[in-house]
Amino acid sequence: MTSIAFDAIPRDRLPGLLRDAPKAELHIHIEGSLEPELIFRLAQRNGVALAYPDVAALRAAYAFTDLQSFLDIYYAGASVLLHEQDFFDMAWAYFERAAADHVVRAELFFDPQTHTARGVDIGAVVGGLHRACEQAQSALGISASLILCFLRHLSEEAALATLEAALPYRDRFIGVGLDSSERGHPPEKFARVFARARALGLHLVAHAGEEGPPAYIESALDILHVERIDHGVRCLESPPLVARLAALRTPLTVCPLSNIKLRVFNSLGEHNLPALLAAGLCATVNSDDPAYFGGYINDNFAATFAALPALGPRQGYALLRNGFEASFATPAEKAAWISRLDAAFQAALPDVAG
């Protein structure tokens, strides 16, 4: 374990340190990285009609009041994606942006049902995204993997059919997740499809405790056997659950700007990220749907640290290191990234050699 003199890192070096440090992004819906400009470009390319006349009008509609109000517009935005190249272009735009934020590991959620419902072949979805992941590694040095998410507002039968349809591409995704409308769709609704994914050796994650209660986090752990909880911020309402998550170091993929836009918290200054860390939880920082929530991963770090005085160099290091530890990369990859992270923090110490 490295010993870094966090208290000796000058406060004014922290923003640059967080910006330039190597980082992992573990909670990014690739359809949520679709910027309005690209939505319009793809709409034109594919002859898809949009309900908004231009980019400004679409952006103006990004005024959400809760998760569902966001999802309605997020699914409408995704309607321009039809061909393999569209999925490649969307993911490639994200990877270029992620590289600028010094992301070295990205685990991308994708929602096949959003596309197959419009008649798009699942092979085109997975194929385009996978090709972008390969190019991210070769051209940008980003290690990238895909996690297939089931839409929880749809039935478990639909999720099972989606998993079966994806099996010809089994080597192109590393896990399954659960997203979309949380309230009223508890994890146990998907017990069988997660059991099937588990038997296939896939990694398991689920959104829980964003809008839903701590009981949803418990059932994601007990019934779905997930390895990470996406969001999970409502765990603090249950001290026994916090103790369990801390003891097992179950990662939480927290998305601060998302939580403000969807009104999980009233302001960043009220976000519970410092309390999650103080409770010993393996919290990480992520962007969720960066094109819709006002920023990519570095924007999330910068805004959150600016708003919360309790977050300093020690917490910054913990969040970045947790991201690597919580990732589904190999132990060798993780160790290499953590060495780079340590070196970045050591380099931020004042020069005492005199």
What residues contact 28, with CB distance under 8 A and at least 6 apart? 94, 106, 107, 108, 109, 286, 287, 288, 289, 290, 297
**What's the farthest any 2 CA atoms get from each other in the chain?**
68
Per-residue binding letters, 72-111, with ligand HPA (x by CB under 6 A): --x-------------------------------------
207 CB-contact burial (10 Å; exposed 0-12 / middle 13-18 / buried 19+): buried
Query: Per CB under 6 A, does 287 bind ligand HPA?
Result: no
User: Catalytic site residue 270?
Assistant: no
Q: Which of residues 89 and 288 has its CB atom nearest to Zn ion in the complex?
A: 288
Residue 288 interacts with ligand HPA (CB under 6 A): yes or no: yes
Residue of 35, 84, 107, 210 marked active site: 210
Nearest distance in Å: CB 284, Zn ion? 13
Q: According to the binding rule CB under 6 A, does residue 25 interact with ligand HPA?
A: no
Closest CA to 298 of 238, 256, 330: 256
Of the two residues 101 and 288, which places its CB atom closer to ligand HPA in the complex?
288
8 A C-beta contact, residue 268 and residue 303 = yes
Least spacing, CB of residue 51 vs Zn ion, in Å: 24
CA–CA separation, 265 and 287 (whole Å):
16
All residues at 6 or more sequence positions from 80 whose CB lies less than 8 Å from its CB, including other chains: 34, 39, 42, 43, 46, 48, 50, 86
* Residue 258 sits in the site that holds ligand HPA (CB under 6 A): yes
- Quick one: what does residue 210 bind among ligand HPA, Zn ion, none, with the CB cut-off 5 to 8 Å set by partner type? ligand HPA
Closer residue to ligand HPA (CB): 287 or 316: 287
Chain positions contacting ligand HPA, by CB under 6 A: 29, 32, 67, 74, 179-180, 207, 210, 258, 288-289
